[in-house]
Each structure stands twice: as structure tokens, then as C-alpha cells.
Amino acid sequence: MIQLENISFDHCIKCTICTVYCPVARVTHLFPGPKQSGPDAERLRKKTPELVDESLKYCTNCKRCEISCPSDVKIADIIQDAKWKYLKKRFRIRDYFLSRTDLLGTVATSTSWFVNFFTRLFLVKFFLDKLLKIPSGRRFPQYERGTFRRWFRKNADDQGSFDEQVVYFHGCFVNYNDHQLGRDLLTVLNTMNIGVLLANEKCCGVPLIANAYLEKARRNGRHNIRSLEQASEHGRIPIVATSTSCTYALKYEYQNLLALDNSRIVNNIEYIMKYLYSQFERGNIPEMKPVGMRVAYHAPCHLERMGGVIYTIEVLKRIPGLDLVLLYSECCGIAGTYGFKSESYEISQKIGQDLFRKIERADPEVVITDCETCKLQIEMNTPYSVLHPVNVLTMAVKEGK
Amino acid sequence: MKYDCLIIGGGLSGLTCGIKCAREGLRCAIISSGMSALHFSSGSIDLLGYHPDGTVVYQPFEHLGHFINEHPEHPYAKCGIDTVRDAFGFVRGELQQEDLDLFCNGEDNHFHITAMGTMKPTYLSQRSVFNESLKGAFKKRARIAVLNFSGFRDFYPDIVVANLRKNSLFSVFEIVSGTIDLPLFRRTNRNPHEFRSIDIARIFDSEKYLPRIAVEIEKLSGDALFVAMPAFIGITNYNRIHRRLEELTGTLIYEIPTLPPSILGMRIDNALKSRFAALGGVFINGDKIIGGEILNNRIEQLHTTNYYDTGFTADYYVLSTGSFFSGGLLSEYNQIREPIFNLQVYSERDREQWRSSNFISGESHPFLEFGVNTDDRLRPATLQGEMIENLFCTGALLSHYNPVKEGSGGGVALSTGYYAARQIIERKAGQ
């Protein structure tokens, strides 16, 4: 397939609306904003690559610029592409490991008690900060013992017996850090008489893209497209993911940024809440008991970009007894690996202040969000525990049993 | 997803329609892609500014009856004077509830200053742009000051001053210009002139800088009767900031609409969206309608870029996707097209007739009057000539009006949005 270059920068009329809605430009002058870093500078870079500006690295790829653009310019894609094409590539141990979530996960889950203990030590944090430039203020995600896949192999051999099936792209976070979410998904779907299958998957590539390992991201992408196509029996079985950023990558980044042909899976992949919404609409609603809880909902950037926030909200509204407060929030600031780097940590924290204040004001029992790194950021900066909508749905379903 | 009313396009027209419907208890959603033309607007709402010969209309409502007789196909003619009047009152009232007060000069138009220093007639303006005290100011001999903020590159006070001096209305005034310079806000040496309106609006939003800004303003303006500045006095906290600045400086302070991003327009955008959400409306931002199914003269469901399969469905649909700039109309090599439903469009066949030979001309450009044809109830037809019964078209998408030449853009947007809402509410009640 012939891939045309992203020439949407030519549609930019220089209105600067994107810069108004950029969470990074709002808090720091180090980043000149998406318009200047994206379409403006792209014209110059195309002619004279030496004109590339280091400030590109401050873009978090949250995509809010693309949501606001009246002229449909793929601003964030242009910036990510330029990061990879033009920025001097320096090998950094930190970036290498931060972007290999699957490698890190495989090691950490086999020695989870040690890793979890170790990464909490002050001295370790101090040295990570000094040597690797991983900010000591950042709390690390905790690792599970073993992987979700292993749990799944042992405990879920009955999935073929349900009327329908879905292929579940669990992503690295569920596999290494949050088995509960994967198990909860099984509970919910099984209650709805839907079985869960796994495909052979590699990291979707989001952290690789963010750290400019585009070749590696492309290799992972090719692998995932192939194996998801196979597991979904060429489009017969729907594919779902519980991570919004994974979904975004599989559906859009593969095509727009990595120039991969994902046409055979793209219309078959859904973020889980959208899938559940469609099931509910069809009348396949599990029996739910009231959960009696006040929750505040934060919509993550990549879900906003996919226009999918409404489905999460609609499903949450159907959970009886759920007192739902919508936060009308913007970016939480962590932006995946962005918040794990000393040079951008402070910016990341500043971006999140508005959200943290809104949460405090709403004063819920728990916060709900669809994204795993938003969860890390909110749990680190507020006293509230953060749940995925599927976790909450499970509470209602379990009560119903 | 099923709604009573589904609106495509979240600009002034779509939001007016949505707020009215939501207020009447209808389940209502707006799907919007990209920020609306409010971000490019003056933030004042025009009703009717100019006669066909280019002279100013001073009493727009009084003139409207005559205007409608002369222009039977104009959107105002379809709405009728009463609906137009109600629509203005409605939007003004809703914005008031969000603490955004629009000044109305009784039945008369008033003028706001443009970034070029010219004067434009308009009907509603934010109080920081025009109000009663400014009306009285023109009787005295005094000094006025036009100030910029150092580093803001979208405003040139000297041009404004030069043009104002040419205006006989300002002949009684001594007009000076100046630039507020606060070293605190100078950016790094790398980007010395990087301030856009929004950056400065955020500086003003924080009250901690106000006393120092006030001192600078006093220094530059001396005993000026009033000070005009580009519209960047706050984006969320603007009422309080404006009041405090007037208290601290002891002068009247006015805002001049700037180049985009328009802070004045964004205040209206924020207020309308917040109103819509408060009334239970659903605003979907990251998706785009790319088509729909029409069956037996009715739209059955819509398809979006991200969710092709699960169509959005509703009893009534409103198309307020704007004009060429917002993508509501497409200009192709030999035709003008409405891209979502391929509706019947009014335009000239011959491409040569689309524009005037001069880019800037008193005659304006014919393409500005191109748009979707509708019946008296704002319902459009397909290319095959079939009326679509449950679709209303509103705002800049419509044909047979020229927002620039008439000075009627804002008024048509909210009047037609309101008119569509009213019809939907009536029909829902009749069901």
C-alpha cells in the first residue's frame, strides 16, 4: 500500500486555537505550543532539518490539539514524527527501559516482592534520580507476582463454552501491574455470557512511540496486527481492550503514525466501554445490584480523542446506586512515560494541578478513570483510590449474583 | 445512542439550539469536531449592521421588517421578527446565568473598535467592550490611551490610534498609545515575541499581578478618560479582573477584539458549553459525522469517523456545521457541496462567478451567500429534490445571506438555531 506523507500541516491556517487547548503550553514557556512545534516548524524542518528545535520533546502526545483543530490538522502526529525523524538520537538507558514496558514487566513480575520493595527505598530513588534522571518524587507502579496471562492459562480454560467470545488485548499494565482489572473483565463478560480469548500480544507501542523508538514500535505493531487478525478469526470475533491508549494505538497510531496497514483489524477493535455499551443496547445487560458509592469521573485524553467518553459515561449511568460526578477535567499530566523523566516531571505535575483540585472539590469516595497512567498520577497526587469503570461494573455485577 | 435531538456542530447556532432544547427537557447531544468559529469572532453579536449600499443601520429591529420584505429568502425572513427578538433575549438571558453580561443599547446598534482602529456596528457586546459609561464619554474633551502588552504580537496600537484619529467621532479626543512592559513576563531570549492573546489572558487571570499592571497602565495613560487594550483581560475570572483594574487605575478600561484566538469569543463559547452541560446536554468533542442514512425522507441514523457501526439516532437532527471554513460547505473544482448529506445547495454554476475580482472589495464576494437551500421551516432537500422531514439547517451553512456585507452573522446563527429548537419542541410536544 502506498502511504502518503502526513501533509495536513498545509491545512493549518495559523489560528493558534490548538495552543489555547495545549496542557503543556499552559504551564510552561519551554514548549512553544503545538502550532509552532507542529505545522509551523514542519515547513522549516522539511527544507532544513538542522532547524529542528529541542522543545519538541515537551509534547506529551495527549492529542488535545487535534481535538480542537478546526482544520483537521494531525498536529500531534506531525510532532511525534518529527521527534523521531529529526531529534538527535542519543541512547539513554532510562528511555530504553521506560519504553520497554513488556521487558521490564517480565523481569519485575518474576521478582515482584523485591522490585516493589526496592523501588520504594529512598536511597534507590535518590540514585535513580541522580544517575538515570528518573525523578525521586515519582511513585512507581507496583508489580504483580507473575503475569496475567499465566493466571489466565490456569484459571480460564472454560471460555470457549460461552455463547459468544471476544479477543481481549490486555496490554502491559494488566499483564504486569493490575491483574484485578483483567479478572474483573472476565467476571463482567462471563456474566453476560461472553467468553474471553487472548491473542499473542506485544506491547502496543505507545511508550516506544513516545520515546522515539519508531522502528521497534512498528515491529510490535506488525506482530499485533497479525496475531489479532488471526485470533479474531479474520474479523469474526470482536477485539476489545481495557486500556484507552492501547486502543488508540491499535486503531489510529498504527495507521497514521507508524504507516502500518491495520485495515483488517481496525473496524473490529473497540475500547471495552464502547463494546459494553453496544451489548447493553442490544439488551445483554447483566443483573446489577446498587453499589451505593459517590464517584468522580475523569476522562483521559486518548479516550477524548476517540470521542469515546460518552460510552463510559452512559455505562456508568446504568450502574444502580452510583452517584456520578463528572469532573470536566483536562489532562492529568503524566502522559505515560513523560512524568517519569526529570526534565518533564515538574511540568507533568503542574499540568495535573487543575484536575487534583477538581477531585478534591468533588470529594468522592473513589475516582474513576479509563487510563492506567492517569490512575498512577491521581493516586500519587491525591488521597483517593482510582478504579477502572470495569472494576466498578464488577462490584455491581458481583452484588447481583 | 438515541436522543430526542441531535445537533451536528457546536458553534453559536448549534449551542443556542441545544440549550433551548435541553431547557425544555429534551434529551439532547451535540457532536462537534474542532473548535467553533466563536474562537475567530469579535465576541460581539451582530443583528444587522449595514444597508445594501454599505451605510450603517442604526436601529436594526426597526429596519428588520423592511429588510425582510426586500429579502424574502433571507434566514431572518424564515424566522420572522418575533423569533429573532426572542432568540436574542434568550441567548442574552442564558449567558447572564453564566455571569456573562451582554450590553444592549436599547433598540439601537452600538459600535466596537476593531484591531485596525475602525468602527463596527453591532447589537450585543460584552460589558468590557461597550457599556453606558462609554456612551457618555464621547461628549467630553479628554484624552484616551490605546495600550498593548509587551511581547503580544497580534496588536499594533499605533495603527489603531492612526485610524481612530481619522474618525470624526474621536476628533474631540487626544489619543495616545503605549506598551505595558513587565520584565517579569518576558520569555526566554529565544522567543522574545511569543505572546498570544491566551498567554496574556492567563497572566491577567491571576490577581497577583494586577497591582503592578495597574501602576503601568496609570504611568502610560496619565489622566486618560479611558484606556483601550486588546481583549486579554482574563479568560475565566474576567468580570472580577476588569472591575479590579478599573478600581485600581481609576479609569474606564475597554477591550478591543483581537486576531484569533479571540478571548471574547472563547468566553461566550465557554459560557454556552457550560450552560448546555448544566442543563443535561451531552457534548461530544472528539468525533466527526461523516454521513447518514436517509430512508423515506427521514434520517434514520448517523455515522461518525470513529464509530461507523453504532449510528447515533434521534427523532430530530440539526445541521449547524458552519460555512466553508468550518467544513459545513465544501468548495470543489466545479461545484459547492454539503458533505454530510449531500443537500441541495444554492450557488453559481460558473466558477468565475463565485468571487469578485478584488479580494477586498465593497461589493463583497458572491460565495458568501452560497449555502444550503431550505424551506420556510429551515428544512433542506436532497439533490434528488426530496425534502428531509426531521432535519433542520441553521447558522452559517444557510444560503441567501451575507454575514460580512450585512453584518448579520451572529444574529442569523442564534436566530435560526433558536427557530429550529422551537419547532423541534413543538413537534415533540405534539407526538
Task: List, for residues A234-271, the tens digit of each pLDDT value.
Answer: 999 999 999 999 999 999 999 988 999 999 999 899 99
**Band of the pLDDT at A210, cuts 50, 70, 90?**
confident
Task: Read off the pLDDT band of B64 (50, 70, 90).
Answer: very high
Do A306 and A325 share a domain, yes or no? yes
CATH of the domain at B355: 3.50.50.60
Same domain (yes/no): B227, B272: no
Of B31, B284, B326, the CB nearest to A70: B326
Residue B10 has pLDDT above 80, yes or no: yes
Q: What is the pLDDT of residue A3?
A: 46
Note whether A332 and A380 are same-domain residues. Answer: yes
**A119: in domain:** no
Q: Are A328 and B277 an interchain contact pair (Cβ–Cβ within 8 Å)?
A: yes
Q: A20, A58, A67, A281: best mutation site toward chain B, by most B Cβ within 10 Å?
A: A20
Indicate whether B116 belongs to any domain.
Answer: no
Residue A2 has pLDDT above 50, yes or no: no
> pLDDT: is B96 or B304 the higher one?
B96
Cis link prior to B261 (omega < 30° from 0)? yes
Chain B CB within 8 Å of residue A266 CB: no
- The answer to whether residue A1 sits within a structural domain is no
User: For residue B404, what are the CA distances in angstroms to A101, B46, B91, B276, B400?
Assistant: 55, 10, 22, 28, 12
Determine contact: A32 vs chain B, CB below 8 A: yes
B373 in the same domain as B320: yes
> Which residue in this structure is represented by grid cell 496600537?
B157
Note whether A34 contacts B: Cβ–Cβ < 8 A. Answer: no
Domain boundary among A280, A301, A316: A280
**Between A19, A267, A308, which is nearest B308 by CB?**
A267
**Position A375 in a domain:** yes
Q: What is the per-residue pLDDT across B305-350, written as a single tens digit (0 to 9) for each?
A: 877 666 789 999 999 999 999 999 999 999 999 999 999 999 998 9
In a domain? residue B121: no
**Given a cut of 70, is residue B238 above it in pLDDT?**
yes
pLDDT band, residue A90 (cuts 50/70/90): confident
B317 min Cα distance to partner chain A (Å): 18
Return the pLDDT at B169.
85
Q: What are the cell numbers at B216?
A: 503601568
CB nearest to B260's CB, from A15, A29, A328: A15
Of all residues in chain A, the one with the smallest CA distance to B263 is A20
Choose, out of B3, B31, B32, B39, the residue to mutate when testing the contact with A (most A CBs < 10 Å).
Answer: B39
Report if residue B15 sits inside a domain. yes
Specify the CATH number for the domain of residue A14.
1.10.1060.10
Which positions in chain A touch B286 (Cβ < 8 Å)? 67, 304-309
What string of H, E and C letters represents the secondary structure of B15-60? Answer: HHHHHHHHHCCCCEEEECECCCHHHHCCCCECCCCECCCCCECCCH
Cβ–Cβ of A16/B196 closer than 8 Å? Answer: yes
Residue A259 lies in a domain: yes
Q: Say how many CA atoms lie within 13 Å of A41 toward its Cβ.
A: 26
Do B23 and B64 lie in one domain? The reply is yes
Residues of A in contact with B191 (CB under 8 A): 29, 32
* A110 lies in some domain: no
Q: Which of A15, A267, A328 sits opposite B261 (nearest CB)?
A: A15
- Are A266 and A163 members of one domain? yes
Average pLDDT over residues A163-181: 95
Contacts of B261 in chain A (CB under 8 A): 15-17, 19-20
Examine the pLDDT at B296 and tell me if it is beyond 60. Answer: yes
**How far does CA A30 lie from the centroid of its chain?**
25
Grid cell of A222 as nine digits: 506488525
pLDDT tens digits, one per residue of B266-276: 999 999 999 99
Do B252 and B281 fall into the same domain? no
Mean per-residue pLDDT for B69-78? 97
Q: Are B29 and B284 in contact (CB under 8 A)?
A: yes
Q: In which element (H, E) is residue A383 found? A: none
Which residue's C-alpha cell is 451582554?
B102
Q: Are the beta carbons of B39 and A72 separated by less than 8 Å?
A: no
Round to whole Å and give the CA distance between B302 and B337: 18
Based on the fold, state whether residues B284 and B408 are members of the same structural domain.
yes
pLDDT at B193: 58
Identify the pLDDT of residue A121: 86
Of B188, B196, B286, the CB nearest to A306: B286
Whether B186 and B324 share a structural domain = no
Q: Examine the fold and report which residue of B212, B237, B256 is the final residue of a domain before the chain moves on.
A: B256
Give the pLDDT of residue B310: 64
pLDDT at B281 (0 to 100): 93
Residues from B contacting A (CB-CB < 8 Å) are 1, 29, 31, 33-37, 39-40, 187-188, 191, 194, 196, 198, 202, 260-261, 266, 277, 282, 284-288, 304-310, 325-327
Cell of B317: 437532527
| A163 and A227 fall within a common domain | yes
Q: How far is A26 from chain B (nearest CA, A)?
A: 8
Share of chain A above pLDDT 70, in %: 98
Is residue B119 domain-resident?
no
The pLDDT value recorded for residue B303 is: 87
A336 & A235 share domain: no
Q: pLDDT band for A204, please (50, 70, 90 cuts).
A: very high
Closest Cα in chain A, distance from residue B190 (Å): 10
Q: Across residues A115-141, what is the average pLDDT?
A: 87
Chain B residue numbers touching A277 (CB-CB < 8 A): 310
- Which of A59, A86, A113 is the endpoint of a domain? A86
Domain that holds residue A70: 8-86
Residues A225-237: what's their mean pLDDT?
A: 95
Minimal Cβ distance to A16: which of B29, B260, B327: B260
pLDDT at A115: 86
| CB-CB under 8 Å, B306 with A68 | no
Q: Which residues pair with A113 in a beta bridge?
A: none
Cβ B60 vs Cβ B123: under 8 Å? yes
To the nearest whole angstrom, how far is the Cα of A66 from the nearest Cα of chain B? 8
Q: Is the pLDDT of residue A117 over 90?
A: no
The set of cell numbers assigned to A257 is 503514525
Inter-chain touch A307–B307, beta carbons under 8 Å: yes
Kindly state whether residue B112 falls inside one of the protein's structural domains: no
**At residue A184, does pLDDT exceed 60?**
yes
Mean pLDDT, rounded, of chain A: 91
Which pLDDT does position B73 carry in this prediction?
Answer: 96
Please check whether residues B304 and B251 belong to one and the same domain: no
Of B235, B256, B277, the residue that ends a domain is B256
Domain interval for residue B59: 2-99+266-430
Task: Count how many domains chain A has.
Answer: 3
| Final residue belonging to a domain, choices A251, A280, A309 | A280
Tell me: do A260 and A323 sit in the same domain. Answer: no
pLDDT at B189: 45
Distance from CA of A351 to the nearest CA of B (A): 14
B418: which residues sit within 8 A by CB, 6+ positions away? B16, B17, B20, B79, B83, B86, B87, B90, B91
How many structural domains are present in chain B? 2
* Residues B146 and B233 grouped into a single domain: yes
Chains A & B: contacts with CB separation below 8 Å: 82
Measured between alpha carbons, how far is B371 from B268 in angstroms, rounded to an integer? 25
In a domain, B308, yes or no: yes
User: For position B170, what pLDDT does the model report?
Assistant: 87
Q: Is the CB of A308 less than 8 angstroms away from the CB of B286?
A: yes
- Residue A319: all three cell numbers together: 450502574
Could you list the beta-strand ranges (E) of A176-224.
194-198
Among chain B residues, the shortest Cα distance to A66 is held by B34
B170 and B46 within one domain? no
Whether residues B298 and B319 fall in one domain: yes
End position of a domain, from candidates B226, B256, B286: B256
User: Which of B32, B35, B188, B289 to mutate to probe the A interface, most A CBs <10 Å?
Assistant: B35
Co-location of A191 and A294 in the same domain:
no
Min distance B44 CA to chain A CA atoms (Å)? 19
- Both A251 and A347 in a single domain? no
pLDDT of residue B308: 64
Instruction: Verify that B251 and B274 share a domain, yes or no.
Output: no
CA distance B39 to chain A (A): 7
Same domain for B249 and B287, yes or no, is no
> Cα–Cα distances in Å, from B64 out to B12, B68, B413?
21, 6, 16
pLDDT at residue A221 in the model: 97
A300 in a domain, yes or no?
yes
- Same domain membership, residue A276 and residue A159: yes
Q: Do residues B116 and B155 lie in contact, with contact meaning Cβ atoms separated by under 8 Å?
A: no
* CB distance A205 to A253 below 8 Å: yes
CATH value at residue B195: 3.40.50
Residue A360 lies in a domain: yes
- C-alpha–C-alpha distance, residues B384 and B260, integer Å: 40
Residue B162 pLDDT exceeds 60: yes
B202-228 residue pLDDT tens: 889 888 889 999 999 999 998 888 999
Residue for grid cell 441514523: B301
Average pLDDT (B27-42) is 94
CATH number at residue A185: 3.40.50
Query: Would you say the ipTM is above 0.95?
Result: no
Nearest CA in chain A to B196: A16
Look at residue B184 and tell me if it is in a domain.
yes
B118 found inside a domain = no
Domain identity same for A318 and A242: no
B287: chain A residues, CB-CB within 8 Å:
306-307
What is the predicted pLDDT for the residue at B215? 93
Of B34, B198, B287, the CB nearest to A20: B198
DSSP B412: H
| A324 and A388 share one domain | yes
Same domain, A168 and A82: no
Nearest to B284 among A26, A278, A307 (CB): A307
CA of A72: which chain B residue's CA is closest?
Answer: B34
Q: Long-range CB contacts (< 8 A, 24+ apart) of A83-86? A: A83/A56, A83/A57, A83/A59, A83/A212, A84/A212, A84/A214, A85/A45, A85/A49, A86/A45, A86/A49, A86/A52, A86/A56
